[in-house]
Amino acid sequence: MTKDTLENTVDGAEDQAACQTEETCECACPSVESVDAIIRKRVYGAIGIGFVPVPLVDFLGLSALQLELIHALAKAHGVEFKKERVKSIISSLCGGILTTASVPLAASLLKSLPVIGITAGAATISLMGGTTTYALGWVFDRHFRKGGNLVDFDAEEAKTYFKEKVEEGKTIIGKIKKKVKKEAAVEAEAPTKEASTDAA
């Protein structure tokens, strides 16, 4: 059986399932592939939210998307979802990395500057939003796979793993952006080639 993880869909690198299946599930856990699909969908959404040109709307959208991600993972694992508890955990995890906590808000506010602010803000929110969403997804999945729930989630214990996943996420988001640019370039060339063939 082939595992289609986010990393594999980007560049065919070794799949990440190995590190995700180190701990066994005490419950009927979803497959790593289905969890990866849940996370991947929200990572792409987080990248897209970064390009919303209205300051603070993107930041609020990213927060809502991350809450929805944890809700989807909790549902997949059969864990009761508690919105206020999740907000508290996310704040605690992201608060441990100053840049992760402050960059999306600062980048959102940066969009209020004409031209340069919108471009710089969008790029920053896309990168940080995608990486933190990726990291949060895998941190919560790991906790749920161990049989944990939102009440016994220890944010202090999870911070090291979260930081590792943020760094991993940066690499993966970079690969996604390169892949999207490459596909866009190919699509842009296609009409030019068709037009030159028609002219000949």
pLDDT above 90 covers what percent of the chain? 36
Q: Is the pLDDT of residue 197 over 70?
A: no
Listed in sequence order, the DSSP H helices in 12-115 are 17-20, 32-49, 57-77, 83-95, 98-110
Q: What is the pLDDT of residues 83-130, one digit of tens each?
A: 999 999 988 887 755 444 444 555 454 444 455 544 554 556 677 888
Q: Is the pLDDT of residue 75 over 70?
A: yes
Burial grade of 170 (CB within 10 A; 0-12, 13-18, 19 or more): middle
* 3-class SS letters over 67-92: HHHHHHHHHHHCCCCCHHHHHHHHHH
On the CB side of 14, how many CA atoms lie within 13 Å of its CA? 3
pLDDT-wise least confident of 39-43, 57-61, 94-98, 179-183: 94-98
Q: Is the pLDDT of residue 33 over 80?
A: yes
The first and second tokens of residue 115, run together, are 């031209």
pTM above 0.75, yes or no: no
Q: What is the pLDDT of residues 135-183, one digit of tens each?
A: 999 999 999 999 999 999 999 899 999 999 999 998 888 887 777 777 7
